[in-house]
Structure 1
Amino acid sequence: MTEATDAPFGGLTLVIDSATEACSVALFDGDRLVAGEFRMLGRGHAEALVPMIAALPDRGRAPRIVAALGPGSFTGVRVGLAAARALALAWGSEIAGYSTLAMVAAIARDQAGNVPVGVAMTGGHGEWFIEGFAGDGNVARPLVSLRPEAAAASAIETVIAGTQAEALVTARGSGTALPVWPDARAFPLLPAAALTSDTRPLYGRAPDARLPGGLPAPGN
């Protein structure tokens, strides 16, 4: 990922994370949490997200907006990014993004003591999104989407975090599972290198829809 400019940031930051079944928003002044909310929605992010932002002080208005890029739910990723881009345009705000798995790893490292963390999150078609992070939070193993048995075989870290952490540790037969969900309120735990000014969605796997001839459909 390309590191976002002007980090660390001393002003107000609105953080939006709706890439998974969880949905969360947070408003920070520097690294101080001003207000935030976390909900386990499953579905309905499009209906819930804007009211959650509007409930923040000054309706969440901030000169910087940061959104989760995925991977996760195709719909959830797009809902969060659409809201971030619309607000950035309306307010003239800077916009940046971060990987959902990087956020999960940051929360897990905070709980486990800055050790290497493998992240296993629910993907599509029965696969899991897998990525490894070093003790400093930087990527140690690249993001891939694998069947559960292959994911368990590839995970080398003792600590595994995410929605499929318990299943992976059970399948592997060893390790510590931290069933962590991404949470916008944990934004200050992210390393600076996790932020990127490239806010294209991070889907983590090839698109399902294809045009005649095998080309990916646009927008997937």
Structure 2
Amino acid sequence: MNAPDDLQAESSLIEHLIELRARLVRALLGLGVVLLCLLPFTRQIYSWLARPLVSQLPAGQTMIAMNPAGAFFAPMKLTLFVALFIAVPWLLYQAWAFVAPGLYQREKRLALPLLASAVALFYTGCAFAYFLVLPAVFHFLTTFTPDVIALTPDANAYLDFVLVIFFAFGTSFELPVALVIMALLGWVTPDQLRQGRGYAIVGIFVIAAVLTPPDVVSQLMLAIPMCILYELGIIAARAVVPKAQPQS
């Protein structure tokens, strides 16, 4: 008696799996195209990333590779990360195209701006880290390094360090989006966010101390923007929640 329903459910599952596979293939193809376009510029990309540190080193001094393959794999790994960074909008579009048909119209109106804001804030956090944080951190570190110690940073270690900084600032700048989502889900209210501001500031400084290198400069340069973003998150939550959850 339930055979037609079972067949319909199985057919629907197969269609969803086929759609998922198609979206994954398109996402990987897009990432591959971006990577192929960037491969000829691998050396320039790494030189661009190394500029905040190299500009603080003594004249004529550069980075080193601790193993023979390091000079090759570090730039290649960076190029892959840059390709992924550039392809994020395309990858998210494929994910959105897969889940959007199952969302209500109201959910689509809320989800799309949140998704776009999350991408923009992540890019903003990475740009903030590159143009402001890294030069300040390396200036601080090189200033207080004794003259008897020669700074010869390893290419792979530097790449790992910078990627951690980018990830820390990129994800931390997502704070307003996270607060809006929590408010939309009913976990917190804008008034509770405002009343818990003091605890939030303490938590922000703890997070900054954990995510950043053990220097005051990078910790402050992460904590202060996060405090500002927390306030922006409260404002955004107040603007969105009443529209999404009108009071009867």
Please report the TM-score for the alignment, with normalisation by the length of structure 2.
Answer: 0.19
Q: In terms of Rg, which structure is larger?
A: 2
Please report the TM-score for the alignment, with normalisation by the length of structure 1.
Answer: 0.21
Q: Which has the higher strand share?
A: 1
Q: Which has the higher helix share?
A: 2
